[in-house]
Amino acid sequence: MARQLNSGLEGGAMSVILPKTPSFRLDGRSALIAGASSGIGQAAAVALAEAGAGVTLVARSADKLEHTAAALHERGLLAETLVLDVQDVEATERAIAAHAPFDILVNSAGMARHGPALDTALADFDAVVGLNLRGAYFLTRAVAKALISAERPGSLINISSQMAHVGGIDRAVYAATKHAVEGFTKSMAIEWGKHGVRVNTICPTFILTPLAEQTFSNPERLNWVKDKIKLGRIGEVEDIMGPVVFLASDAAAMITGTALMVDGGWTAD
């Protein structure tokens, strides 16, 4: 709503001060993107860099990271690499502590091993929980700890899933980890709000990435996905780029502890 101040114009007209849209720019800020060598993480790195942030790309594969960084450099964007397995909590904490505090975190490191719940192998359960939940939890904590120690605000974004809000065929383990991500994100947001550290999730539908190839190669599963997405198409990594910049920026300064659904209407019913 426009705010009216005291009359200061000839004829008694009211002067009006209009609000200004907060900036979506991220100039001068640093961002850490886990899982940045491909898929959603790579797209998030591009989006944040294009918005002006200096990005640090994190993944286990040095070659893939260097290729992504080189492509960003060709566009004149700021990027460096950090080879790291976020499942190694001690190594992750050391790496974050050795770096200046990151203003932005996008945690896109994740995996899935789908199958019927009755057939879940203990090794598969431990692998998915180890990365999607344990790794995500302690990476988020490490970045927040540095920000709070430095008395700096920040925006921490966990890439969750629509499966954090619904169930899915062959997805008991994956859905469990993403429900858990939603839980710790909300709790961390409550704890760290007083420090100006915002914590949110983005919940994509099925996105055209290597992670979803198993689903798309199964005609029955593909039909199930298309039937659920009300917008009538599979998601693309570009669909996540705008939401990442939004949550990272001052335009989302009053948003914390929430889940931004990018699911084409899947969870609307």
User: In terms of Cα–Cα distance, which of 125, 196, 198 is closest to 158?
Assistant: 198
Task: Give me the residues of the chain with pLDDT under 70, please.
Answer: 1-13
Longest CA–CA span in the chain (Å) reads: 80
Spatial separation of the C-alpha atoms in residues 124 and 14, rounded to whole Å: 67
Q: Which residue stretches of the chain are H helix?
A: 39-50, 62-74, 89-97, 122-129, 136-149, 172-192, 213-216, 219-228, 238-248
Q: What is the reported pLDDT for 7? A: 43
Residue 99 burial by Cβ neighbours in a 10 Å radius (0-12, 13-18, 19+): middle
38-47: buried (b, 16+ CB within 10 Å) or exposed (e) per residue?
bbbbbbbbbb
Q: What is the reported pLDDT for 12? A: 57
Task: Kindly list the catalytic residues.
Answer: 174
* 201 phi and psi angles, rounded to 5 deg: -120, 155
The string of pLDDT tens digits covering residues 200-235 is: 999 999 998 877 777 788 888 888 888 999 998 999
Phi/psi region, residue 132 (left: phi>0; alpha: psi -120 to 50; beta: rest), is alpha
> Is 150 within 8 Å of 102 (Cβ atoms)?
no
Residue 58 burial (CB count, 10 A): 29
Q: What is the DSSP string of 221-244?
A: HHHHHHHH-TTSS-B-THHHHHHH
User: In terms of Cα–Cα distance, which of 43, 269, 23 is closest to 157?
Assistant: 43
Spatial separation of the C-alpha atoms in residues 162 and 265, rounded to whole Å: 10
Query: Strand 54-59 relative to strand 30-34: parallel, antiparallel, unpaired?
Result: parallel
Q: What is the reported pLDDT for 10? A: 54
CA distances from 51 to 23, 100, 220 (A): 10, 20, 39
User: Does the pTM of the predicted model rise above 0.75?
Assistant: yes
Q: What is the reported pLDDT for 125? A: 98
The string of pLDDT tens digits covering residues 53-91 is: 999 999 999 999 999 999 999 999 999 999 999 999 999
**How far out from the chain centre does Cα 252 lie?**
14
Residue 69 burial (CB count, 10 A): 21
User: In terms of Cα–Cα distance, which of 117, 164, 193 is closest to 261?
Assistant: 164
User: In terms of Cα–Cα distance, which of 48, 38, 57 is closest to 155?
Assistant: 48
Q: What is the reported pLDDT for 189? A: 98
Span 25-268 CATH architecture: 3-Layer(aba) Sandwich (3.40)
> Is 185 within 8 Å of 201 (Cβ atoms)?
yes
User: In terms of Cα–Cα distance, which of 215, 209, 235 is closest to 109?
Assistant: 209
Q: What is the reported pLDDT for 4? A: 47
